[in-house]
Amino acid sequence: MSASTPATPRSTAAAQRGLSIALLGMLALHVWPIAGDPAWVLWGWVPWDLAYALLWMLGAAALVLFMTGPAWPDEPTPEPQPPLSPEGGEPS
Amino acid sequence: MSTGATLLVVCVVYLAVVLAIGAVAYRRTGSGTEEYFLGGRTARTVVLFMALLGTNVTPFVIMGIPGKAYHHGVGMFGLNAAIVALGIPWTFYVIGYPAWKAARRLRAISPAELFAERLGSPAVGVVLFVAFVVYTLPYLVTSVLGVGLAVSTLTADAVSLPVAAALILVVTIGYTALGGMKATMWTNVFQGAVFMGLVLVAFFAVADDMGGLAAATETVRRLAPELLEKGERPVFAPGAWASWGLAISLTVIAFPHMLVRIFAARDATAIKNTCRVYPVALVLLWLPVVMIGVWGAAEIPGLQGQQSDRIFPLMIQLHFGPVMEGLALAGVLAAVMSTIDAQFLTLGSMLGRDVLRRLSPDLSEVREVWWGRLFVLLLAVVTYGVVLWKPASIFDIAAFSFSGYVTLVPTMVAALHWRRTTATGAIASVVVGNAVLLWAMSHPGLEGGLHPVAWGLGAAIVALVVGSWGSRPPPRAVIERALGPG
């Protein structure tokens, strides 16, 4: 994927902050899930605890899309570096 | 055609395709280490995604998870699948991508080599090599054990567990030793398609045979209603739930065989696209295996402890004829082979890069590859011995392995993001983290409601920070060569 408008350091930092907050929210919803009626079933076969996990994964998928977009700017592929001198100083 | 003959034909066809792909890859693989161990770093999105998924999915998912769902119900889905749908892509972003960049800069072949170069210390490479071997070995065992159980169940012990385990090891070593990374990644595309296809077909076909999805759930509600909710089981208590989520999310990137696959990516786009597809693939894979385990508890009650590891092939056997049984077997073979090939290849590369090359800097690349192949053979023999011993269930062996890998994560994150990290801190982190983990595992009841991995991880973080602050960082040139100017 390539962004149509180049990301600026400020917009990337803001997106990464947003990602961190959303991640914390998702973790909280994972550790302390919303309790539902055990007798309730979705589409006649998905019980509440399973439906909740599937819905949570839908949110996770959306968050991953955001993570791989604004929060993850495109960078050029790094070039191989020359080996260092034996003393660990400047490249030989 | 008899059941045995049908199973044999399906499996022979499957193995022939895998070996043919391996042979083609062999002809296209050059002789250098970068070409053999990383396929020349040319993997694009489809190959990278299938290779990572194929490597990630083992009998832990196809056999171990249905086995656990058999006892604990639908809560196993949330406990495992949900959190990794976010956790795995996130670790690719936080660790995988920076590690890929650093590996490109350093031309590193193995994870241990990467961190040794970054921290300017061959000792870091050796310590990580030892840790990777110690925790990959049990993981290898779960894979081969899963195949053995599947084959012996589906053939009603006509092909015994020891014979099946030996066969899978020989074939996998054959194509891995010949074709290297290119062979394993290409075969993984085929293998991933086979096991994904199998799981989805099995899910809908079993449900259909039970009268439909709603009827299948109703059967469970009638016979084992407690499996349709998380309930008050200790395994789902908040502390255990959160710390296991931590373990299973962080462990995947710490598998050396996963990280090295990321090194093989052609560009960042391939890594990003893989992250995007991962959550969808996990739903398609985990939902069927959990539900088949839950339905199995209603249809084949009474399996105790480790016996439930057989529930997936037992359900296939209960509902289908020999062709589907053969496909199920091929699916399990695919899941196993796509993982153990990567594990063998990675450990073989680390022996050469991180141990032998340090001892003998003049070692030729051809000799390095051959030593790697010999080491793989030795690992296969040890794996086979432990499989015959079978010390615990697939899930429990994997849990031990996953927990150990997690203690290596602080070193990885810090080395890639914190320039003050030192070799002393990294080694202290690995040693102390693992010591605390093993202590917590051997003292059940003292973990304060948390999985032992939480204690190991905490100790590894503390040791890393204290060890790094108490020692001198590597020269600036060493750090910038790996991470760039900063």
User: Considering CB atoms only, which of B90, B273, B280 is closest to A61?
Assistant: B280
Residue A48 lies in a domain: yes
Q: What is the pLDDT of residue A4?
A: 47
Chain A nearest-CA distance from B129, in A, is: 22
Q: Which tokens in the block code for residue B444?
A: 């059940």
Q: What is the pTM of this model?
A: 0.86
Mean pLDDT of B14-39: 73
Interface check B83 vs A, CB under 8 A: yes
pLDDT tens per residue, range B355-391: 888 788 787 877 887 888 888 888 889 999 988 887 6
Q: What mean pLDDT comes out for the span B430-434?
A: 96
Task: Provide the domain limits for residue A58.
Answer: 40-70
A9 touches chain B (CB under 8 A): no
B185-216 pLDDT tens trace: 777 788 788 888 888 999 999 999 999 999 99
Residue A41 main-chain phi, psi, to 5 deg: -135, 145
Distance CA B94, CA B483 (A): 14
Tell me whether residue A10 is in a domain.
no
Q: Which residues of B383-411 are buried (b: 16+ CB within 10 A; e: fewer)?
A: bbebbeeeebbbbbbbbbbbbbbbbbbbb
Inter-chain residue contact A53 with B81, CB threshold 8 Å: yes
Q: In sequence order, what are the residues at sequence separation of 6 or more whose Cβ sits closer than 8 angstroms to the Cβ of residue B71?
A: B297, B308
Contact B90 A50 (CB under 8 A): no
Identity of the highest mean pLDDT range in A65-69, B34-38, B442-446: A65-69
* B447 neighbors B243 (Cβ within 8 angstroms): no
A-chain residue closest to B103, CA distance: A80
Contact B465, B425 (CB under 8 A): yes
Q: What is the dihedral of CA B314, B318, B319, B324, to 10 degrees?
A: 60
- Total domains, chain A: 1
Q: Which residues of chain B lie closer than 8 angstroms to A1, CB-CB? A: 269, 272-273
* The pLDDT value given to residue B124: 94
Q: Cβ neighbours of residue A18 under 8 Å, at least 6 residues apart?
A: A66, A71
φ, ψ of residue A42 to 5 degrees: the values are -95, 135
Closest CB from B229, B275, B484 relative to A64 = B275
For chains A and B, CB pairs below 8 A equal: 128
Interface of B with A in 219-258 (CB under 8 A): 228-230, 238, 241-242, 245
Select the highest-mean-pLDDT range: A12-21, B151-160, B299-308, B345-354. A12-21
Whole-number mean pLDDT of chain B?
86
Run of H or E including A46: strand A46-47
Quick one: closest CA in A to B481, which residue? A81
Q: What is the pLDDT at residue A92? A: 41
Residues 43-82 of A with CB under 8 A from B: 43-50, 52-54, 56-57, 60-61, 63-65, 67-68, 71-72, 74-75, 77-81
CA–CA distance, B31 with B230 (Å, rounded to integer)? 53
Residue A57 belongs to a domain: yes
Query: Which of B117, B220, B229, B263 is most worth mutating to test chain A (most A CB atoms within 10 A of its CB)?
Result: B229
Residues in chain B: 486
The helix (run of H) or strand (run of E) holding residue B28 is helix B3-28
**In chain A, which residue's Cα lies nearest the Cα of B282?**
A57
Q: How confident is the model at residue B396 (pLDDT cuts 50, 70, 90)?
A: confident
The token duo for B2 is 């008899």
Does some domain include residue A54?
Answer: yes
Two structure tokens written together for A86: 């034996």
What residues are paired with B330 via a beta bridge?
A: none
Q: What is the pLDDT of residue B110?
A: 87
pLDDT category at B351 given cuts 50, 70, 90 is confident
Alpha carbons within 13 A on the beta-carbon side of B413:
19
Look at residue A46 and tell me if it is in a domain: yes
Asked if the model's pLDDT at residue B3 lies above 80, the reply is no
Give residue B91's pLDDT. 95
Residues of chain B positioned with their CB less than 8 A from the CB of A56: 78, 82
- What percent of chain B has a predicted confidence (pLDDT) above 90? 40
- pLDDT at position A33, please? 87
Q: Which residue of B has its CA nearest to A19?
A: B90
Q: Which two tokens stand for residue A16?
A: 């990464």
Q: A38 — phi, psi (to 5°)?
A: -60, -25
- Output the pLDDT for position B468: 97
pLDDT score for B37: 67
Q: How close B6 gets to chain A, by Cα (Å)? A: 34
Backbone region of residue B144 per phi and psi (left: phi > 0; alpha: psi in -120 to 50; beta: other values)? alpha
Residue A85 lies in a domain: no
Tokens at B111, concatenated? 């994870």
B198 close to B331: Cβ distance less than 8 angstroms: yes
Residue B338 has pLDDT above 80, yes or no: no
Three-state DSSP class for residue B327: helix
Tokens representing residue B180 in the block: 């290297």
DSSP B405: H
Q: How far apart are the first and last CA of chain A?
A: 37
Interacting residues of B43 by C-beta distance below 8 A, sequence separation 6+: B51, B185, B261, B264, B265, B266, B270
Neighboring chain B residues of A79 at a CB cutoff of 8 Å: 104-105
Q: Is residue A45 part of a domain?
A: yes
Minimum mean pLDDT range among B76-90, B95-109, B144-158: B144-158
What ipTM goes with this model? 0.87
Residue bearing the bigger pLDDT, B103 or B174: B103
Residue A52, domain member (yes or no): yes
Contacts of A49 (CB under 8 A, 6+ apart): A33, A36, A38, B74, B75, B78, B228, B229, B230
Could B481 and A23 be called an inter-chain contact, meaning their C-beta atoms sit closer than 8 Å?
no
pLDDT in tens, A41-85: 888 899 999 999 999 999 999 999 999 999 998 888 888 888 876
The percent of residues in chain B predicted with pLDDT above 70, rounded, is 95
